[in-house]
Amino acid sequence: MQAEHVRRFNVGVVYLCVARHFQPFIMILEKIRQSDWWIKASNYKDRHYDETSGVMLSDHLDSVLNSIDKIFDKKENLFNCQLLLLLDVFSINREMVKRDLQIVALLHDIGKPEDDKSVKVEHPLKKEMVSKRHPVVGVQAAMNILSSDDSLNEADKNKVYTLIDEHDTPYGLYRQFEKTAVVPELKVGKNLTTRLMTETELDCCTC
């Protein structure tokens, strides 16, 4: 009987530790889903699908979130294994990367309902006038939702903002390669890396 009490106590302690670790992250996702931005996404038809499909932008964002989970959880997939191995080689924390990408998954396209390329706005990060494209609006939305959140430090928030801002860049480079068969210059990748990583992380990757 005493052994059973000890077992239950240990299980309870583990549960509390796990809950304490994940609660701030779960609250961030809930904060996103309770925002006015998410309401707009829930009422905006997703352009990746036919208009008659009934798939809304919020459905697409949730689907991307689920895909992030699969990348990190389905390790039997060769691509996933190689990706996770790269993180280990460069001493990049898997859980931190997963957390950042999960947040970005829900926010990366959330600016689409207010996309208007004919309008010029000040870029919230670069402080220059740019077209009101959905990644720019997405950064504004992320700042609005996350600015008062204490569970993320400023470096983590800036990483999330930059990922949202640049999320179309890799696909654009792929489309460019598909059309021209010209491999993008290495400096493009380096510029992205510099924007996304802290000085400490960059030092680790260049060792």
Q: What is the pLDDT of residues 85-143, one digit of tens each?
A: 888 898 888 888 999 999 999 999 999 999 999 999 999 999 999 999 999 999 999 99
Within-domain flag for 136: yes
Contact of 141 with 132, CB cutoff 8 Å: no
What was the pLDDT predicted at 182?
Answer: 80
How deeply is 138 buried, as exposed, middle or buried, from its count of CB atoms within 10 A (0-12, 13-18, 19+)?
buried
Cα–Cα distance measured from residue 171 to residue 163, given in angstroms and rounded to the nearest whole number:
13
User: Is 103 within a domain?
Assistant: yes
Read off the tokens for 136. 């720019």
Q: Find the largest Cα–Cα distance for the chain.
A: 72
Q: Is residue 13 part of a domain?
A: yes
Inform me whether the pLDDT recorded for 32 exceeds 80: yes
Residue 207 counted as domain residue: no
pTM: 0.79
**Counted domains in the chain:** 1
Tell me the residue range of the domain where 129 lies.
Answer: 2-167
Tell me if 175 is assigned to some domain: no
- Residue 203 is predicted with a pLDDT of 53
- 183 occurs within a structural domain: no
158, part of any domain? yes
Within-domain flag for 30: yes
Alpha-carbon span 9 to 186, nearest angstrom:
54
**Phi (first) and psi of residue 58, to 5 degrees:** -65, -30
- Coil, helix or strand at residue 58: helix
- pLDDT tier for residue 3 given thresholds of 50, 70 and 90: low
Q: Would you place residue 183 in the very low, low, confident or very high pLDDT band (cuts 50, 70, 90)? A: confident
